[in-house]
Amino acid sequence: MGAAPVADALAERAYEPVIGLEIHVQLSTRTKMFCGCELSFGEQPNTRTCPVCLGLPGTLPVTNAEAVHFGLMIGMALGCEPAPRSIFHRKNYFYPDLPKGYQISQYDIPLARDGRLGDIRIHRVHLEEDAAKLVHAGASGRIHGAEASAVDFNRGGTPLVEIVTEPDVRSAAQAAEWLRLLRVTLRQLGVSDVNMEEGSLRCDANVSIRPAGEATLGTKTELKNMNSFRFLERGVNAEVARQEELLREGGAVTQETLHFDPRTGALSPLRSKEEAHDYRYFPEPDLVPIAPTEEMLERARSALPELPAQRAERLESDMGLVPDTARLLAFRSDLGDFFERAAAARVGDDSKAIANWIVGELVANIGDADPADTKLEPESLAALVGMVREGTVAGSAAKDVLTTLVAEGGDPAEIVEAENLGAAGGDELARVVDQAMADQADAVEKIRAGNDKATGAVMGAVMRATEGRADGAEVQRLIRERL
Amino acid sequence: MTGDLLDLTAAQAGQRVRAGELSASDLFEAWRERAATDSLNAYRWVADAPPPEIAAGAPLGGVPVAIKDLFCTEGVPSAAGSRILEGYLPPYTATAVEQLAQAGAPMLGKTNMDEFAMGSSNENSGFGPVMNPWDESRVPGGSSGGSAAAVAAGLAPWAIGTDTGGSIRQPAALCGIVGLKPTYGSISRYGMIAFASSLDQAGPLTRDVTDCALLFRHMVGRDPLDSTSTGLPEEVRLPDQERLDGLRFGVPPELTRGGVDPGVAAVFEQSLRHIEELGGTLEEVSLPHSDQGISAYYVIAPAEASANLARFDGVRYGLRAEAGDLASMYEDTREHGFGDEVKRRIMLGTYALSSGYYDAYYGRAQRVRTKIAEDFRSAFERVDLIVTPTSPTVAFGLGERTDDPLAMYLSDFCTVPMPLAGIPAISIPGGLSDELPVGIQLAGPAFSENRILEAAYALEQAIGFDGSGARG
Amino acid sequence: MIDRDQVLHVARLARLRLTDEEVERMTGELSTILDHIEKISELDLDDVAPTSHVVAMENVLRPDEPRPSLPREGALGQAPDTDGVGFRVPSPGA
Ligand SMILES: [Zn+2]
């Protein structure tokens, strides 16, 4: 206990992370943002280029209407107000993957602003073009003794929507959770492949910390390249910890851009440029403003499907599902769709049971696959769940039936019949119980003496005899009856 | 035949072809031979093969056209007067050039110019200056100096150029020919190597107003490849009016008094008399912000240029200086590839956009631009056209002004306000001063090209300028 | 007015390597030009909207329909240095 009291106080002081996210979404239009080249999906390098996206002298950009449409859809889905008139700017900097020496992007007047998704406010949504890809050629590709790289312009000019949140996120886990919500929302909109590994969804985080309860913002750092939910969580946690340690040691956070290395989990500052960034934004004179007409807005509005957050709410309130199950079904729209078809196939109130079967047994069975791609029909699942409720098939046997349905399809009742999986009952079961109690006389004595655990031995014998087709509760009842 | 041809305007030659009196290929061949005799450094490249078959009845009759080197032409050198693009062969052709070829005006050659269209004398070409055919010790003006000199010297029947702050009108004036800067947007910019995107506009340089209207008619059009192109709302008419009755001409003191040489002023006064004789009326109109026009122009144009020229980085085309690392590759390439004037403007534009200076320079210049457009709007409530000298001086001596960039910039004051407002203006020869041509400029509201061409035609008939002196 | 350091800073932003002689000359020339340009600061422009465009058009959009891309030889055809597949440049980090 030799430490100075001040240091103690600092060490004990609780910090609160303040996190804002910047997400880049590659839009799944057919063609690029400003030219007619088709988007590239792993084609040979430099086979999806034209004079415009190579930045050849004299060429001019022309905005892709579908990209604007997708941008408006995203803006609306995130509860933003579309700008009555937005413009493009040029963001000037030199880099080999930037053919014109500037990126066409929206700046002070974005396509849409001021929205909300879940508990996080959206600052802005804007359109821009993606950079090309710089491939490091390695030791063999040297130019004049220095390392060489090669530029592939296939990706250059792919339409991007950038979504910037307000700094409302308070933990790494919340960041990852929210990003999942965003991803499933975008997937539901059908505007992007939203694949983080392939880079169609990219997330940067602005991270600062401040003493808990204070309103001021600390100095923030920008974390780049966290191309999975896990990396995002690890990266932000690492940065929060680094900043806390810095402050606790009496240091200060400096504003910088950090690169997250997923292999080591380390954060390293990006090579600082010779001079501070000065992007010299100015209005792009080659393009005219976007002023969405009522027709454009209506088209975007009517293209909006029910969004996952809304669906989860509806599944909870209308179908009585518990929140976790509702979210799971809503966030995996394939499961949600399958659920709603199965639930509709049933007159009785099996919705909750069907939901539980889907998020439990079915997901255990098929993993990430779309249930609609299996042989299982929603009506069959509903029928099977009904049979379990009615006691005509035991739960454990029903799992085997589900496995058969997934692999081969068919009618659950016929499978139960054919495989003799029907619940043992009536005289058959009574006879089996009688026999088991006769065989397990010792156990029966113990039960009579008040040792309930001894029921297990009788139960085991019954199950062995019926090959698991007996309903446990029914067997219990029959045993009690015979005591 | 060459001698004959020289006396024909392009429209007349085209008519003869369509009438079957002349074959398009003979015509092309004759002009090709003529162009090959260029001793003014007006051409950078001359066609070395006959053009593809001209469709019978093509409206331009196969009369070949000289193309400013700023236009990209597929497989043909297109260097924009810059060493950084020396040897560059574009994989596509500019829309305007393509349209002219379709209409029956095949490309005769590519003409020399100030590097990236930055200059008023053609001395900024990376490939040596062009000489003025009226006096080879003098400049032809710029930046479309090669096109202007070629037409004036009879090395081309007609030509196209581009105008950002006067680059068609001023060389037309200094070479004694007609040059039209159309309304911004009327001709596609696709394939025109960009200098200042919000100002650049292509246009014709021709021997007379009729040729100008004819060539212009086939350059206009809305182009899906240029978001800012509008085309013209009405077809371009070939002018035939010989009177100016009822037309009101505004004379702005700001563009006609201070700084205009007495010889130029005298020719200008004479033109005003012609206007009155033809039934037009004259009225003083004020363009109070044109003083600031030069300042706004020399912020906006370099700012846009600084971004437009960023693509010349040695990666995908053009010159590359071999250097060890990426930063040196960029800097050495651009240091070696760009000439002094281009560097000066890139510096000026980069500075005007840089953090802390944007509002003071670029932001204010854009507001001045608004004021200049308002000046014109209120002037055109009172008059139909504005008339000024095109250039305050006649052609000056080669090397005379190269040491004083500001003086060179200031000499653009008559031509700079119109592109800032996006409005059309034509320069026609008004007469000679000291044996050198003087240009008269007529400007009108946006899309008033037909009115401008009619008035220019009537005035041209009255002036009766004889340009044969330059055609040797 | 612009000083030598500003000239060097701007040259770096614009990726121009100016010789010492050019820096000297540029500092003088740009200062003269900027002094003249500063005339525009004399105007009262507070209530004036900026004009970045003279065309009054909006929503000039292109249908999302593919146009043919260049063959790779065409794309690389004018490049100073390629490996036959991509455009070769010195590595940014090198
Ligand atoms: Zn393309």
Where are the domains positioned within chain A? 3-302, 308-418, 426-482
In the stretch 53-92 of chain B, residues with CB closer than 8 A to chain A read 71-72, 78, 80, 85, 88, 90-92
CA dihedral A401, A403, A409, A411 (to 10 degrees): 10
**B196-235 pLDDT tens trace:** 999 999 999 999 999 999 999 999 999 999 999 999 999 9
Choose the mutation target among A33, A40, A46 for the interface with C, i.e. most C CBs under 10 Å: A46
Distance of residue C5 Cα from the nearest chain A Cα, in angstroms: 13
Q: How many domains does chain C have?
A: 1
CA dihedral B282, B283, B287, B288 (to 10 degrees): 150
Segment B361-366 mean pLDDT: 95
pLDDT at B51: 82
Identify whether C33 is part of a domain.
yes
Closest CB to A96 among B85, B197, B315: B315
Count of other CB atoms within 10 angstroms of residue B59: 14
Q: Which residues make Cβ contacts (< 8 Å) with residue B415, sequence separation at least 6? A: B163, B165, B166, B169, B170, B181, B390, B391, B425, B441
Identify whether C24 is part of a domain.
yes
* Residue A156 · residue A53 · CB < 8 Å: yes
Query: Mean pLDDT lowest for which of A117-121, A274-278, B18-22, B244-248?
Result: A274-278
Euclidean distance between CA atoms A131 and A146, whole angstroms: 24
Q: Cα separations (Å) of B328 from A136, B331, C6? A: 18, 5, 20
Closest CB to C40 among B296, B330, B370: B296
Structural domain for B105, as ranges: 2-247+382-470
Count of other CB atoms within 10 angstroms of residue B217: 20
**A144-176 pLDDT tens trace:** 666 889 999 999 999 999 999 999 999 999 999
Kindly indicate the confidence band of residue B186, based on its pLDDT and cuts at 50, 70 and 90. very high
**B208-218 pLDDT tens trace:** 999 999 999 99
Q: Do C86 and A36 touch (CB under 8 A)?
A: no
CA A185–ligand 1 middle distance (angstroms): 29
The verdict on B40 and B144 lying in the same domain is yes
Q: Do A36 and C93 touch (CB under 8 A)?
A: no
Euclidean distance between CA atoms B440 and B426, whole angstroms: 8
pLDDT at B305: 98
3-state helix vs strand vs coil in chain C, percent to 5: 40, 5, 50
Identify whether B265 is part of a domain.
no
**B256-297 pLDDT tens trace:** 988 899 999 999 999 999 999 999 999 999 999 998 999 999
B167 included as an active-site residue: yes
Identify whether C59 is part of a domain.
no
Identify whether C63 is part of a domain.
no
The verdict on B28 and B138 lying in the same domain is yes
The verdict on B311 and B446 lying in the same domain is no
Euclidean distance between CA atoms B452 and B41, whole angstroms: 32
* Residue B172 · residue B137 · CB < 8 Å: no
CA C67–ligand 1 middle distance (angstroms): 8
In the stretch 285-314 of chain A, residues with CB closer than 8 A to chain C read 285, 287-293, 296
**What is the distance of C-alpha C48 from the center of its chain?**
26
Q: Say whether pLDDT at A16 is over 80.
A: yes
Identify the active-site residue in B120, B121, B143, B147: B143
DSSP letter for each residue of B117-172: G--SSSTT-TT-PPPBTTBTTB---SSSHHHHHHHHTTSSSEEEEEESSSTTHHHH
pLDDT at A369: 86
* Residue A339 · residue A330 · CB < 8 Å: no
Q: Is A152 on the interface with C (CB under 8 A)?
A: yes
Structural domain for C25, as ranges: 4-37
Kindly indicate the confidence band of residue A133, based on its pLDDT and cuts at 50, 70 and 90. very high
The CATH number given to A426-482 is: 1.10.10
Instruction: Name the residue with tokens 């790289």.
Output: A149
What phi, psi does B219 have (nearest 5°)? -100, -25
Closest CB to B334 among C16, C43, C78: C16
Rounded to a whole number of angstroms, the CA Rg of chain B reads 21
Reading the block at residue B86, the tokens are: 């020396």
Q: Say whether pLDDT at A61 is over 70.
A: yes
Closest CB to B354 among C10, C79, C90: C10
Better-scored residue on pLDDT, C93 or A407: A407
CATH number at residue C23: 1.10.20.60
Segment A26-39 mean pLDDT: 98
B320 contact residues in C (CB cutoff 8 A): 80-81
The verdict on B163 and B241 lying in the same domain is yes
Identify whether C19 is part of a domain.
yes
Chains contacting B (3 or more CB pairs within 8 Å): A, C
pLDDT lower than 50: segments of chain C: none
Count of other CB atoms within 10 angstroms of residue A385: 27
Q: Say whether pLDDT at A12 is over 70.
A: no
Q: Do B224 and A51 touch (CB under 8 A)?
A: no
Euclidean distance between CA atoms A150 and B450, whole angstroms: 52
Identify whether C81 is part of a domain.
no
Euclidean distance between CA atoms B423 and A472, whole angstroms: 91
Reading the block at residue B322, the tokens are: 């071999």
The verdict on B176 and B85 lying in the same domain is yes
The verdict on B196 and B71 lying in the same domain is yes
Identify whether B8 is part of a domain.
yes
Distance of residue C30 Cα from the nearest chain A Cα, in angstroms: 19
Q: Which residues make Cβ contacts (< 8 Å) with residue A414, sequence separation at least 6? A: none
pLDDT at B11: 97
Residue A88 bridge partners (DSSP): A106
Amino acid at A29: T
The verdict on B325 and B408 lying in the same domain is no
Euclidean distance between CA atoms C86 and A150, whole angstroms: 5
Identify whether B283 is part of a domain.
no
Kindly indicate the confidence band of residue A416, based on its pLDDT and cuts at 50, 70 and 90. confident
Identify whether B164 is part of a domain.
yes
pLDDT at A226: 86
Residue A422 bridge partners (DSSP): A393
Identify whether B262 is part of a domain.
no
Euclidean distance between CA atoms B74 and B84, whole angstroms: 18
The verdict on B408 and B431 lying in the same domain is yes
DSSP annotation of A291 reads -
Euclidean distance between CA atoms B291 and B371, whole angstroms: 11
A90 contact residues in B (CB cutoff 8 A): 307
Q: Reduce the secondary structure of A272-290 to three states and give it as a string.
A: CCCCCCCCCCEECCCCCCE
Segment A57-83 mean pLDDT: 97
Identify whether B360 is part of a domain.
yes
Q: How many domains does chain B have?
A: 2
Q: Do C85 and A54 touch (CB under 8 A)?
A: no
Identify whether C52 is part of a domain.
no
Kindly indicate the confidence band of residue B9, based on its pLDDT and cuts at 50, 70 and 90. very high
**A427-453 pLDDT tens trace:** 778 888 888 888 888 888 888 888 888
Identify whether B222 is part of a domain.
yes
Euclidean distance between CA atoms A60 and A39, whole angstroms: 18
Euclidean distance between CA atoms A52 and A310, whole angstroms: 41
CA A37–ligand 1 middle distance (angstroms): 4
Q: Say whether pLDDT at B1 is over 80.
A: no
The verdict on B457 and B358 lying in the same domain is no
* Residue B164 · residue B182 · CB < 8 Å: no
Distance of residue A62 Cα from the nearest chain C Cα, in angstroms: 6
Reading the block at residue B164, the tokens are: 């950002």
Q: Say whether pLDDT at A296 is over 90.
A: yes
pLDDT at B466: 95
* Residue B317 · residue C78 · CB < 8 Å: yes
pLDDT at B118: 98
**A460-483 pLDDT tens trace:** 888 888 877 777 777 888 888 887
pLDDT, averaged across chain A: 89
Prior bond of B143 cis (ω within 30°): yes
